[in-house]
């Protein structure tokens, strides 16, 4: 029974989410929030593989996300829609649902290959120097995309809305919710299986003592390639889902700010903790949305108390002051993040009775 509890819970959750989205049980705004939550979970969990489990400092996650976003968008637009770039659709709209995962997979593969841009320098470099290389890699990717005119350059690329429309022709379901849910589960599934195997624990060994890992027969270079490619591949998946959810992409979405958001989520959740990565992505997404309501209240409160000049308004920009401030406080009082190095079942051992990870 235990091995079916998690699939059952996931299936029920998916069913409820789809049903509620379809029947207006949750409005479009909350649907968006839930979908961004899923994308953020993928981002933070995948970055956690490199920054948490392997102990490297990668801060170019947005670059890999961009590769995934563009490659999957280009392939889905070429396959299923009429566009100025590719002309008539190659396949009929009926193929959109079964073949959409392949487009995402293409984005993942491309992002994983671009991950080599970081993986190969990591053989000889680590720590701060590797961090600089990861930033450079993300800039290389971003400015390359900006300079490819046919795919829109800096203006971005659109047409993915029609892909969603093509999927809706098969059945009128909230398809993006479905794909993001599957993508999130897939990410956690693949990472969980990787890091719990003796093979995957090789990367933990690298983080704790790379020299000892090498001498104890761990092929450190190979493990670094595996970890970087898996991490960037999953970032590519997040990018693909993000692009199709919004219906357009532009290189401006994949700046260092996006990478920083991923970093914040990893450190908020705890390095080397998958449940921490999930939890922090949920908390972080909610926090951004809650601030949307809280900031006007703060504004009203401060005006009421006459603490700020009447003509000054506390705007949403203050979000980017309050969230980094939260990070400062977190690092000060709980530097290991919400979960530390532990998983949920280390804190609540009784939940082990109800499930078994396979």
Partner 1 sequence: MALLEIKEMNHAFGGIQAVDHFNLRLKGGELNGLIGPNGAGKTTIFNLVSGFYQPTSGQIFFRNTNTAGLKPHRITGLGLARTFQNIRIWPEMTVLDNIRVAHHHSLGYGFLDCIFRTPTFLRREREVTTAAYEILESLNLKDYAQELPKNLPYGLRRIVEIARALATRPALLMLDEPAAGLTSADLQGLIDMIRMIHQTFQITIWMIEHQMQVVMDLCQYIQCIDFGVTIAEGTPDHIQNNPAVIKAYLGDDTFQCC
| Nearest to partner 1 of 30, 199 (CB atom) | 199
Nearest approach, Cβ of residue 143 and partner 1 (Å): 32
Closest by CA to 20, choosing from 217, 173, 239, is 173
| Nearest to partner 1 of 204, 277 (CB atom) | 204
Please report whether residue 349 would count as binding partner 1 according to CB under 8 A. Answer: no
Helix (H, G, I), strand (E, B) or coil at 252: helix
Closest by CA to 77, choosing from 178, 142, 161, is 161
Beta bridge partners of 29: none
Question: Of these, 114, 184, 220, 250, which contacts partner 1 (CB under 8 A)?
Answer: 220
Please report whether residue 204 would count as binding partner 1 according to CB under 8 A. Answer: yes
Nearest approach, Cβ of residue 139 and partner 1 (Å): 29
- Mask of contacts with partner 1, 9-48, x by CB under 8 A? ----------------------------------------
Nearest approach, Cβ of residue 223 and partner 1 (Å): 9
List, in order, residues 6 or more apart from 150 with CB less than 8 Å away.
85
Which residue blocks in the chain are alpha helix, DSSP H?
2-22, 28-48, 61-80, 96-114, 116-119, 128-146, 160-170, 175-196, 198-208, 210-215, 220-246, 256-269, 274-304, 319-333, 344-347
Which residue blocks in 174-219 are alpha helix, DSSP H?
175-196, 198-208, 210-215
The number of residues that bind partner 1 (CB under 8 A) is 28
Please report whether residue 85 would count as binding partner 1 according to CB under 8 A. Answer: no
CA distance 337 to 227: 22
Question: Of these, 1, 88, 171, 211, which contacts partner 1 (CB under 8 A)?
Answer: 211
| Nearest to partner 1 of 108, 218 (CB atom) | 218
| Nearest to partner 1 of 230, 262 (CB atom) | 230
Nearest approach, Cβ of residue 310 and partner 1 (Å): 55
Q: Which stretch binds partner 1 (CB under 8 A): 30-38, 85-93, 126-134, 195-203?
A: 195-203
Which residue blocks in 247-339 are alpha helix, DSSP H?
256-269, 274-304, 319-333
Q: Are 236 and 115 in contact (CB under 8 A)?
A: no
Please report whether residue 212 would count as binding partner 1 according to CB under 8 A. Answer: yes
Please report whether residue 303 would count as binding partner 1 according to CB under 8 A. Answer: no
Please report whether residue 216 would count as binding partner 1 according to CB under 8 A. Answer: yes
CA distance 338 to 273: 10
Please report whether residue 205 would count as binding partner 1 according to CB under 8 A. Answer: yes
Please report whether residue 200 would count as binding partner 1 according to CB under 8 A. Answer: yes
CA distance 67 to 117: 12
Please report whether residue 268 would count as binding partner 1 according to CB under 8 A. Answer: no
**Tokens 């601030």 belong to residue:** 291
Q: Which stretch binds partner 1 (CB under 8 A): 82-90, 165-173, 200-208, 288-296?
A: 200-208
Residues that bind partner 1 (CB under 8 A): 190, 193-194, 197-202, 204-205, 208-209, 211-221, 226, 230, 341, 358
């Amino acid at each position: 029974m235990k091995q079916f509890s998690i699939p059952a819970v996931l299936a029920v959750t998916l069913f409820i989410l789809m049903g509620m989205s379809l029947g207006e049980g949750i409005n479009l705004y909350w649907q968006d929030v839930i979908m961004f939550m899923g994308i953020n979970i993928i981002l933070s969990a995948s970055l956690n593989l490199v920054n948490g489990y392997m102990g490297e400092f990668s801060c170019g996650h947005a670059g890999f996300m961009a590769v995934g976003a563009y490659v999957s968008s280009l392939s889905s637009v070429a396959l299923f829609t009429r566009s100025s770039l590719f002309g008539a659709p190659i396949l009929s709209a009926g193929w959109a649902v079964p073949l959409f995962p392949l487009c995402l997979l293409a984005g993942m593969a491309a992002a994983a290959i671009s991950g080599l841009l970081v993986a190969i320098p990591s053989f000889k470099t680590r720590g701060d120097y590797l961090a600089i290389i990861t930033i450079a890699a993300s800039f290389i990717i971003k400015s390359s995309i900006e300079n490819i005119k046919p795919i829109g350059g800096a203006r971005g690329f659109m047409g993915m809305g029609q892909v969603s429309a093509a999927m809706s022709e098969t059945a009128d379901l909230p398809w993006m919710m479905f794909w993001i849910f599957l993508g999130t589960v897939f990410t956690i599934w693949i990472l969980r299986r990787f890091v719990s195997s003796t093979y995957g624990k090789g990367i933990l060994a690298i983080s704790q003592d790379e020299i000892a890992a090498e001498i104890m027969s761990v092929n450190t270079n190979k493990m670094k390639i595996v970890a970087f490619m898996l991490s960037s591949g999953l970032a590519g998946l997040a990018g693909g889902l993000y692009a199709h959810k919004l219906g357009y992409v532009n290189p401006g979405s994949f700046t260092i700010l996006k990478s920083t958001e991923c970093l914040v989520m990893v450190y908020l959740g705890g390095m080397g903790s998958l449940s921490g990565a999930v939890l922090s992505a949920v908390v972080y997404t909610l926090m951004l949305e809650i601030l949307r309501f809280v900031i006007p209240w703060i504004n009203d409160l401060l005006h009421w108390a006459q603490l700020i000049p009447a003509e000054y308004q506390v705007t949403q920009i203050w979000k980017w002051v309050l969230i980094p401030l939260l990070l400062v406080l977190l690092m000060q009082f709980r530097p290991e993040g919400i979960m530390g190095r532990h998983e949920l079942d280390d804190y609540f051992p009784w939940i082990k009775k109800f499930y078994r990870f396979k």
